[in-house]
Amino acid sequence: MVEVPSPGQRVNLEVESHNGKTVLEGIVLHPAARSHITLKLANGYNASYPLESIHSVTVIGGHNPIPATQQEGVESSTDLPRIRILHTGGTIASKVDYATGAVVARFEPEELVASLPELASIAQIEAVKLGNMFSDDIRPQHWNAIVKASKKAFDDGCDGVVVTHGTDTLHITSAAVGMAWAGRGGKSPGTIAFVGSQRSSDRGSSDAAENLLCAVHWAANAPKPTGTVGDSTVVVMHAGPHDGSCAVLPGTGARKMHSSRRDAFQPVNCEQLGAVHIDNGTLTHTLNARYSDVLASETHRLTTERPDAYETGVRIAQFTAGPWLHAEHIEAVVQSGVQAIVVHGTGLGHLPIEDPGKDAPENTKVWRTLTRCVNREIPIVVTSQCINGPIDMNVYSKGRKQMDMGLIGHGSVATPETMIVKVHWALSTSMTVGDAIAADLCGENRNDLMS
Cα distance between residue 174 and residue 398, in whole Å: 34
Q: How many CB atoms lie within 10 A of CB 271?
A: 17
CB neighbour class for 446 (10 Å; exposed up to 12, middle 13-18, buried from 19): buried
- Strands ordered across the beta sheet of 82-87: 124-129, 82-87, 160-164, 192-195, 233-238, 245-250, 274-279, 282-287
Which position among 38, 91, 228, 418 bears the catalytic label? 91
- Provide the 3-class DSSP secondary structure of residue 50: strand
Minimal CA–CA distance to 111: which of 80, 89, 136, 133? 89
**Contact (CB, 8 A) for 130 and 150:** no
Query: Are residues 21 and 14 in contact, defined by beta-carbon separation less than 8 angstroms?
Result: yes
Query: Which one from 88, 159, 164, 168 is the annotated catalytic residue?
Result: 168
**For residues 373 and 68, what is the distance between their CA atoms, to the nearest angstrom?**
51
Choosing from 40, 151, 187, 256, the catalytic residue is 256
Rounded Cα gap, residues 210 and 221, in angstroms: 16
Q: Which of 402, 404, 422 is nearest to 412 (CA)?
A: 422
End-to-end CA distance of the chain: 67
Active site residue 224: no
Spatial separation of the C-alpha atoms in residues 407 and 237, rounded to whole Å: 35
Quick one: which H or E segment has residue 287? strand 282-287
Catalytic one of 38, 164, 167, 383: 167
Please answer whether residues 380 and 374 qualify as being in contact, where contact means their C-beta atoms are separated by less than 8 angstroms.
yes
Q: Give every CB contact of residue 323 below 8 A, 6+ residues apart in sequence.
A: 352
- CA-nearest of 334, 330, 429, 430 to 377 is 334
Q: Tell me whether residue 129 is one of the annotated catalytic residues.
A: no
DSSP line for 4-19: PPPTT-EEEEEEEETT
* 86 CA to centre of own chain: 15
Q: Which residues pair with 277 in a beta bridge?
A: 245, 284
Do the beta carbons of residue 125 and residue 73 sit within 8 Å? yes
Whether 256 sits among the annotated catalytic residues: the reply is yes
Sign, CA torsion 348/353/356/358: positive
Catalytic residues: 91, 167-168, 256
